[in-house]
Chain A
């Protein structure tokens, strides 16, 4: 066989083998990848709205209805991502049917938070997030802005991204609280 023909054929064989190997790997890992994403979401949803037994996605990746065992609405969970210092600050918020915050979680750096370690990244810490529990739309204001929430020292922009995101989310989704 002349060398030019072999050049084409060897490249073709390499591509066919590589494609076949990848399609096998894809077929094996695809269901696991999807399951990981679903698991991560349902764990996070359960953390912010513990009274719900199951969740129904209403708007993709941004709004879920939490349902109790009887299938009645136990509350809603929404995700907002207001602009912070290093990028969007994704926050997952669980509201019960009266519009009170029962759980909230700021995404970790592994989930895409890009705030500064030691400053804005403290938004994920419990002392900061637990202040929001039990509040309703009117209570989501930092001390600096005339409210009662402590901001993270040195990270006002991040703190405001969280409060603004939650306030916008509540006003945007409050109609969904009706049973």
Chain B
């Protein structure tokens, strides 16, 4: 294979960040994107938990891919993914109980997060360990950037703070745009961000 035709290692890392950003461009994994981004901290926490699962499941699936027959790959992927989800679930309960209570049901739901099964199926099952690690890392970064940005924007408008730090004048914080913290605010914001992406032609193709 000639180097010109093979995608570079670097592109595995960068494609998930903007060009194939899972939630913003491919529009998968939207459920936690909309539901857990009520503050910058929660968006970052959610995407960190998902990143742990995505990176490790990508690496392990890539590691065992030669031994997994196509007909039983999905059950094996699910066992691997749910093992890492359970590990992060216990770890959050033990070390970050406050964050765990906020994220609630969305931690166990990482099992069925389309991004993770999607990367396992579309990438890790057919690529080497290092490439799968880079792909997992890139997609995690893309997901984390979007969730943290959405959390920060929603927190800024709805509460007047970002990461709990007051960034708006006191008069704003007495009567902020509260609806941004509610579900309609999440839909509105993802729509605006998606429109921006289309306008700037950042996406795929």
For B97, the chain A residues whose CB sits under 8 A away are: 33, 36-37, 40
Which residue from chain B places its CB closest to the CB of A24 in the assembled complex? B87
Check A87 for interface membership: any CB of B closer than 8 A. no
Interface of B is mostly: helix
Interface 0/1 of B159-187, CB less than 8 Å to A:
10000000000000000101001000000
For A110, the chain B residues whose CB sits under 8 A away are: 98, 101-102
Segment of A6-14, A95-103, A133-141 in the binding face: A6-14
For B69, the chain A residues whose CB sits under 8 A away are: 3, 6-7, 10
Check A18 for interface membership: any CB of B closer than 8 A. yes
Known contacts A7-B69, A11-B75, A117-B178; is-contact A36 B158 (Cβ 8 Å) = no
For A7, the chain B residues whose CB sits under 8 A away are: 69, 71-72
Which residue from chain A places its CB closest to the CB of B64 in the assembled complex? A14
Report whether B98 and A10 are in contact in the complex, using a CB–CB cutoff of 8 Å.
Answer: no
**Could you tell me which residues of chain B, from 76 to 112, have a CB within 8 Å of some CB in chain A?**
76, 79-80, 82-83, 86-87, 90-91, 93-95, 97-98, 101-102
Check A175 for interface membership: any CB of B closer than 8 A. no
Interface 0/1 of B178-200, CB less than 8 Å to A:
10010000000000000000000
For B158, the chain A residues whose CB sits under 8 A away are: 117
Check B68 for interface membership: any CB of A closer than 8 A. yes
Q: Nearest Cβ in chain A — how far from B96, in angstroms?
A: 9
Check A32 for interface membership: any CB of B closer than 8 A. yes
Report whether A10 and B67 are in contact in the complex, using a CB–CB cutoff of 8 Å.
Answer: yes
Report whether A33 and B87 are in contact in the complex, using a CB–CB cutoff of 8 Å.
Answer: no
Q: Nearest Cβ in chain A — how far from B190, in angstroms?
A: 20
Q: Nearest Cβ in chain B — how far from A26, in angstroms?
A: 6
Interface 0/1 of A114-152, CB less than 8 Å to B:
000110000000000000000000000000000000000
A10 partner, pick from B76, B82, B83, B90, beta carbons under 8 A = B76
Report whether B83 and A22 are in contact in the complex, using a CB–CB cutoff of 8 Å.
Answer: yes
Which residue from chain A places its CB closest to the CB of B88 in the assembled complex? A25
For B90, the chain A residues whose CB sits under 8 A away are: 25-26, 29-30, 33
**In the complex the two chains form, what is the Cα distance from A15 to B75 in whole Å?**
10
Which residue from chain A places its CB closest to the CB of B77 in the assembled complex? A14
Give the B-binding residues of A (Cβ under 8 A).
3, 6-7, 10-11, 14-15, 18, 21-22, 25-26, 29-30, 32-33, 36-37, 40, 109-112, 117-118
